[in-house]
């Protein structure tokens, strides 16, 4: 069931989502060659708790860390590690979900580590563009399939593919609510978008083929099957009659 949020509730979700944006910016300051991903997780968790938030990934179905940190061919759900060091030219996606005063925000950003190759720059650029094209469709009266269609079209037009196994989702009262927000779809299909719906739109985009595999050892790490890089950007958005009200923000990362 899709739960609608009141205007007051949307404002409380915005507070949580903005803390996610600030956390991603704080973590981003430490994205450098030689840094182990577990260090980024430590910085993020401390920042979240110092600001009164709860890192919801930690302990979710046994996930061990506050943040999902996914390098290169890891699409999403990478587990931070003391022995995985960032290298010049990597991309690293940081995904963060925070509960603040009972409301939940979710956002992710893919950072470049040092200088990255033009082909990696293009993957990040197109994935972020796909996110905003999906968000543009988040208007009351549109349909859920319009969002996936916009994301898929843009990625495939640029020679990339979108993951099918994992999707965006409703968010706000809990980390995962109905509906699933797929990164593929057909215009004019799926549930009607209504004012008060709050969803996480999160394109997971592969440079090569769309096929992914999940680690048998940890049960979480999702990698591209062909070993090519992937990128992931995510915002929490409220649907209004006027269009998208993006509740999370990359402003803290990009306008520092
Ligand atoms: Mg997320
Ligand atoms: Mg999400």
Q: Is residue 152 helix, strand or coil? A: helix
The CA 222 to ligand 1 mean position distance, Å, reads 14
Residue with tokens 């507070």: 15
Q: Is residue 227 helix, strand or coil? A: coil
Q: Quick one: which of 200, 158, 207, 208 has its CA closest to 183?
A: 200
Nearest ligand, CA of residue 20? 1
* Mean pLDDT in residue range 73-87: 98
pLDDT surpassing 70 at residue 77:
yes
The CA 201 to ligand 2 mean position distance, Å, reads 7
CATH number assigned to the domain with residue range 7-254, chosen from the 4 options 2.40.30.40, 3.90.230.10, 1.10.3720.10, 3.40.50.300: 3.90.230.10
> How many residues are given for the chain?
256
The CA 77 to ligand 1 mean position distance, Å, reads 9
φ, ψ (nearest 5 deg) of residue 14: -60, -40
pLDDT of residue 195: 98
The CA 175 to ligand 2 mean position distance, Å, reads 8
Instruction: List, for residues 33-58, the tens digit of each pLDDT value.
Output: 999 999 999 999 999 999 999 999 99
Share the mean pLDDT of the chain: 98
The CA 94 to ligand 1 mean position distance, Å, reads 8
* Mean pLDDT in residue range 24-30: 98
As residues whose CB is below 5 A from the ion ligand 1, the structure lists 95, 106, 108, 234
Which DSSP helix (H) or strand (E) runs through 76?
strand 74-76
pLDDT of residue 116: 98
What span, in angstroms and rounded, lies between the C-alpha atoms of 39 and 80?
8
The CA 171 to ligand 2 mean position distance, Å, reads 8
Does the predicted model carry a pTM greater than 0.95? yes
Instruction: List, for residues 241-255, the tens digit of each pLDDT value.
Output: 999 999 999 999 998
The CA 227 to ligand 1 mean position distance, Å, reads 22
* Mean pLDDT in residue range 231-246: 98
Instruction: List, for residues 102-135, the tens digit of each pLDDT value.
Output: 999 999 999 999 999 999 999 999 999 999 999 9
The CA 199 to ligand 2 mean position distance, Å, reads 9
What is the greatest pairwise CA distance in the chain? 48
- For CA atoms 140, 249, 53, 176, give the dihedral sign: positive
* Mean pLDDT in residue range 138-147: 98
The CA 193 to ligand 1 mean position distance, Å, reads 21
pLDDT of residue 255: 86
The string of DSSP codes covering 43-74 is HHHHHHHHTT-EETTTTGGG--SSSEEEETTE
The CA 96 to ligand 1 mean position distance, Å, reads 5
The answer to whether the CB of 197 falls within 8 A of the CB of 151 is: no
The CA 49 to ligand 2 mean position distance, Å, reads 20
pLDDT of residue 44: 98
The string of DSSP codes covering 90-139 is -EEEEEEEEEETTEEEEEEEEEE-SS--HHHHHHHHHHHHHHHHHHHT-B
What span, in angstroms and rounded, lies between the C-alpha atoms of 142 and 197?
12
φ, ψ (nearest 5 deg) of residue 29: -65, -25
What span, in angstroms and rounded, lies between the C-alpha atoms of 146 and 158?
19
Instruction: List, for residues 193-225, the tens digit of each pLDDT value.
Output: 999 999 999 999 999 999 999 999 999 999 999
The CA 145 to ligand 1 mean position distance, Å, reads 20
The CA 97 to ligand 2 mean position distance, Å, reads 8
What span, in angstroms and rounded, lies between the C-alpha atoms of 158 and 207?
10
pLDDT surpassing 80 at residue 256:
no
Residue with tokens 């992914």: 212
The answer to whether the CB of 131 falls within 8 A of the CB of 124 is: no
């Amino acid at each position: 069931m899709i739960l609608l949020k009141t205007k007051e509730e949307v404002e409380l979700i915005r507070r949580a989502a903005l803390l996610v944006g600030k956390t991603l910016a704080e973590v981003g300051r430490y994205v450098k060659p030689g840094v182990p991903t577990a260090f980024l997780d430590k910085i993020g968790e401390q920042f979240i708790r110092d600001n009164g938030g709860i890192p919801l990934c930690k302990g979710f179905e046994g996930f061990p860390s506050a943040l999902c940190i996914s390098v290169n061919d890891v699409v999403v759900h990478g587990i931070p590690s003391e022995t995985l060091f960032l290298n010049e030219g990597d991309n690293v996606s940081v995904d963060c979900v925070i509960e603040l005063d009972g409301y939940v925000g979710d956002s992710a950003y893919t950072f470049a580590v040092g200088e990255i190759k033009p082909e990696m720059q293009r993957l990040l650029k197109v994935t972020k563009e796909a996110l905003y094209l999906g968000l543009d469709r988040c208007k009351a009266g549109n349909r859920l399939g319009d969002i996936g269609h916009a994301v898929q079209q843009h990625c495939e037009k640029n020679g990339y593919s979108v993951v099918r196994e994992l999707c965006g989702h409703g968010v706000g009262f809990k980390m995962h609510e109905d509906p699933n927000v797929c990164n593929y779809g057909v215009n004019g299909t799926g549930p009607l978008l209504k004012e008060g719906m709050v969803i996480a739109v999160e394109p997971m985009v592969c440079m090569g083929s769309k096929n992914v595999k999940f680690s048998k050892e940890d049960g979480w790490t999702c990698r591209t099957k062909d070993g090519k890089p992937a990128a992931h950007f995510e915002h929490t958005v409220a649907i209004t009659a006027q269009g998208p009200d993006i509740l999370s923000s990359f402003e803290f990362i990009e306008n520092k």
